Amino acid sequence: MNFEEHAAKPLLRAAGIDTPKGRLARSPGEAAAVAAELGRCVLKAQVPTGKRGKAGGIKLVAGADEAEAAATAILGMTIGEHRVASLLVEQQVPIAHEMYAAVLNDPGTKSPLLLFSAQGGMDIEEIAAKHPDTLVRLPIDIRHGPDPKAIDRALTMPLPCDRSALIALLDRLYTAYAANDAELMEINPLVLTADGRLMALDCKYTMDDSGIPRHEQLAKTGTPDKLTELEARGKALGLKFIELDGSVGVLANGAGLTMTTMGCCAPLRRRARELHGDRRRELH
């Protein structure tokens, strides 16, 4: 389950990570009222997807009048198939440097993986491509949690901030990840402010669906996956149904068996193409 930024940031604050002052607004008038209180602020469309800025869903404003106009433009727009129904209005922060930090489930190491880069404000794929030498990848033993000494050894690059403060923040990020059954807890950007503070300007949080029963109240603030009519009917019956194209269905128990079965069907699909051409039946 994905969570919008306004629902994810309180989890960081609970772990001791600083975030900007702000409140949720659902109308241009509410956005103006928050801006009147905060002064110079930023309006952020609340949708469970990335690239909001490129889509026009993030605007800097100087006060209430600009906030009302920006909110009018953003509310109701569509970003990544999601309609914008609310805005996070936050106080602007003077930024000295942007970084990246995350903890995520890593199938390769079968453990949580701590990621950190001294370069932030861009997608992690872009960071890995443009600044591979700055990206730290540190597997974490779930039996013991983060080892501050191991984090210190892994941070071999020059840092724009106090080393001990950064190590403490990365430890708190893991605390937020573990306490909330996360598949991903990401801060991008993690900034060093002009007055020397470390602050999370954005947060992406994905909860492991198997953890929902342990966090029922938190799950109510999440954004459920968009379901087709058939998928919704399956969910109502207690079934995990994924609707795909094609005319042949697969009934299987567990994701691994499902993928194996579909893999076995793939040669039959190719054979059907050879035998029947345009009259073939696609197997999914």
Local confidence band at 261 (pLDDT 50, 70, 90 cut-offs): confident
Averaged pLDDT of the chain: 90
Q: How many residues does the chain have?
A: 284
- Tokens (6 digits) for 236: 């109502």
Q: Are residues 117 and 214 in the same domain?
A: yes
Over range 97-104, report the average pLDDT.
96
- Tokens (6 digits) for 41: 């602020």
The answer to whether residues 12 and 51 touch, using CB atoms and an 8 Å cutoff, is no
Residue 15 located in a structural domain: no
Amino acid at position 85, single letter: A
Q: Are residues 125 and 29 in the same domain?
A: no
Residue 103 located in a structural domain: yes
Rounded to 5 degrees, φ, ψ at 118 are: -75, -5
Q: Are residues 243 and 168 in the same domain?
A: no
CB atoms within 10 A of CB 117: 24
> From CA 23, how far away is CA 138, in angstroms rounded?
34
The total of structural domains in the chain comes to 3
Rounded to 5 degrees, φ, ψ at 140 are: -120, 130
- Report the percent of the chain where pLDDT is more than 70: 93
> From CA 121, how far away is CA 278, in angstroms rounded?
47
Say which residues have a Cβ less than 8 Å from residue 197's Cβ, sequence separation at least 6: 18
Question: What is the DSSP secondary-structure string of 90-123?
Answer: EE---EEEEEEEEEEEETTTTEEEEEEES--SS-
The pTM assigned to this predicted structure is 0.82
Domain containing residue 76: 21-91
Q: 7-63 pLDDT, tens per residue?
A: 999 999 999 999 999 999 999 999 999 999 999 999 999 999 888 988 999 999 999
Q: Are residues 150 and 205 in the same domain?
A: yes
pLDDT of 211 over the 50 cut: yes
Q: Are residues 36 and 53 in the same domain?
A: yes
SS3 content of the chain, % helix, strand, coil (to 5): 40, 25, 35
Q: Are residues 85 and 140 in the same domain?
A: no
Specify the CATH number for the domain of residue 107: 3.30.470.20
Q: Are residues 168 and 240 in the same domain?
A: no
